Structure 1
Amino acid sequence: MPTRPTLFDVRVTMSVVQILKSARNAYSVVINAAPSGRNGVDAPAVRETRDLLATVTPHVCRQQITHRLVVGYATLMGAGVTEAEPSGRAATEYEMLWFELAAKLNLKVRGANHAS
């Protein structure tokens, strides 16, 4: 389930997580449209979002999806970020998110040894 690092989105996500938990549904929360980190450190808004979500769930993906212009550009082209800018940071983030989710689901995928 995607969530942005904003108060409104986090509050809604916290409520939805409670519903998913009560229904015993599997889920993971992905922080998206996030500000970029610096030197391997999450932006304060992302850190605070992780801290708030940790009060209701351990299922927050480590990999975030940063707000990047290429995402909208790729959409206009009818492509994914890995097609529009294969060696770009957005492509790397999406690939790392895929590897993280695949590992949680016990899927065997090529390149999954790169998961963090």
Structure 2
Amino acid sequence: MKTIAVISRKGGAGKTTVAVNLAAALREQGARAVLADADPLRSSSEALRAHSLSVVETSASKLFALTTASRRSGGDLLIIDTPAAPEGDVVAAIKVADLCLVVSRPTYLDVAAALKTLELLRQLRASGLIVLNQCPSARQGREPSQVSSTLDALRFAGVPVAAAPLRVRQAYQSALSEGQGVTEWEPRGQAAIEVRALAEIVRRKVLGELPSRPANDAMALSAMAARP
């Protein structure tokens, strides 16, 4: 059993949306996935109250016991929707995680916050990956400058970035209003395609193949600031 912590210490990045949709997509791909809602706002639990996806309300102090129980139950993945603060609660989630997904919009301030989180991961010797969320859509096969400049800056600094950015799409809110992930609400939609791509990256990174069964930081910021 592997644990994934979905982290964003800056409000509005879409952490809960990523956690919910990732959990649903991983279940679709055959993983026994459980979503742990450790955010006091309980947004994940509220969104999936009528959903068949397993959602457990918890807190930072209970995460170690929860991961132990999940491992004993034979689950594949525990996905933690982490609190944004305090830092001690974020650290507790990082310490139990096999992979931390740091959710960030492609803006200077969001990336600055994400890089601080990555520095915390380095201090704790934890594995991390930035997930760019709420990106403007590509036009004629070309990334908007806001996205391409962010990607260039992060790669220049050697920061790990998931090669599956998530775009600004109404489908996310529409699906959540129905208590679903986008892969269920609109299975052939662009949002579903993007989430499945991210889920595949995550799944292979932490689990490899599943058996078939039903379903430097200152440099980066300087580079971003210098671009138009």
Cα deviation, residue 106, structure 1:
4.3
Q: Which residue identity is paired with 1:4?
A: R
The yes-or-no answer on 1:101 pairing with 2:226 is: no
Match of 1:17 in 2: 118
Cα 1:58–1:7 shift into 2, 3 Å? closer
Match of 1:28 in 2: 129
TM-score normalised per structure 1: 0.86
Match of 1:113 in 2: none
Give the number of the structure whose alpha-carbon radius of gyration is greater.
2
Equivalent residue pairs, number: 111
More strand per residue: 2
The yes-or-no answer on 1:88 pairing with 2:228 is: no
- Structure 1 stretches of at least 4 aligned residues deviating more than 3 Å after TM superposition: 55-58
> Which of 43, 48, 55 does residue 144 from structure 2 map onto?
43
Cα deviation, residue 55, structure 1:
4.3
- Identity among equivalent positions (%) equals 30
Structure 1 unaligned segments of length 5 or more: list them: 111-116
> Which of 65, 75, 90 does residue 166 from structure 2 map onto?
65
| Separation in structure 2 between the aligned mates of residue 71 and residue 35 of structure 1, nearest angstrom | 14
Match of 1:76 in 2: 177
The yes-or-no answer on 1:8 pairing with 2:109 is: yes
| Separation in structure 1 between the aligned mates of residue 110 and residue 136 of structure 2, nearest angstrom | 15
Structure 2 unaligned segments of length 5 or more: list them: 1-101, 212-228
Higher relative contact order (CA 8 A, sep 6+): 2
8 Å CA contact 1:33, 1:65 repeated in 2: yes
| Separation in structure 2 between the aligned mates of residue 40 and residue 108 of structure 1, nearest angstrom | 30
Cα deviation, residue 37, structure 1:
1.0
Cα deviation, residue 45, structure 1:
0.9
